[in-house]
Amino acid sequence: MAQMTKKRKAALAMYDATKIYTLDEATEIVKKVSNTKFDGTVDIAVRLGVDPKKSTEMVRGTVSLPHGTGRDVRVLVLADPAKVEEAVAAGADMAGLDDYVEKIKGGWTDVDVIICTPAVMAKVGALGRVLGPRGLMPNPKTGTVTMDVAKAVKDVKAGKIDFKVDKAGVIHAVIGKASFDAAKLSENANEILLTLAKLKPSTAKGAYIRSISISSTMSPSVLVDTRTVQVA
């Protein structure tokens, strides 16, 4: 068993890791125990009462965080020349088509989000083996395959994120940075929880939101009482 670091021991001494807290209490604790020299990312993990193997229970979607993620999101737009100009004007970090397609075929993926137009999906679809495993494949369901590339770029830059339940039935999402006010972290987290509630599959049985935990980079998780959040 790996030896616990001094920093982790110190963090665990600041709160009761066996207790469950309200969302507001949890974000306060996460800020207190965050001990990295850099501004760590704060994440939420929500375990859902779904079976991801069933197509009817594959929960995925997008949400616009009211206070953004605090991250500088690098956006690439793959499109024809007219749309490339539109994307750059909207704030895309990179935009083009054939040159980037060739780079990606060679294994380049130094971006956070890729947006494309329906017209170029044939070329983008061929990149699935590179983009798919990295979660970068554009998808109409997440708004990253669209004719309105300008809006898509602005949404992503403003804090729109996408999420997808993993094989264990857990949703992982960024809710901000450790430097955020606890109230802003709580509001971002609550926005995700409200969105998840709206996406509850009709076939899901029993409790839908089974557990919630919040953590920051390299810090222990804090459990959130599911009864204290305003979701179904």
Give 199-210 pLDDT, tens digit per residue. Answer: 999 999 899 999
135: left (phi over 0), alpha (psi -120 to 50) or beta: left
Neighbours of 87 (CB within 10 A): 25
| pLDDT confidence of residue 17 | 81
* Residue-range domains of the chain with CATH: 18-69+160-226 (3.30.190.20), 75-157 (3.40.50.790)
Tell me which residues of the chain have a pLDDT lower than 70.
1-5, 7-8, 11, 230-232
Give the per-residue pLDDT at 231: 57
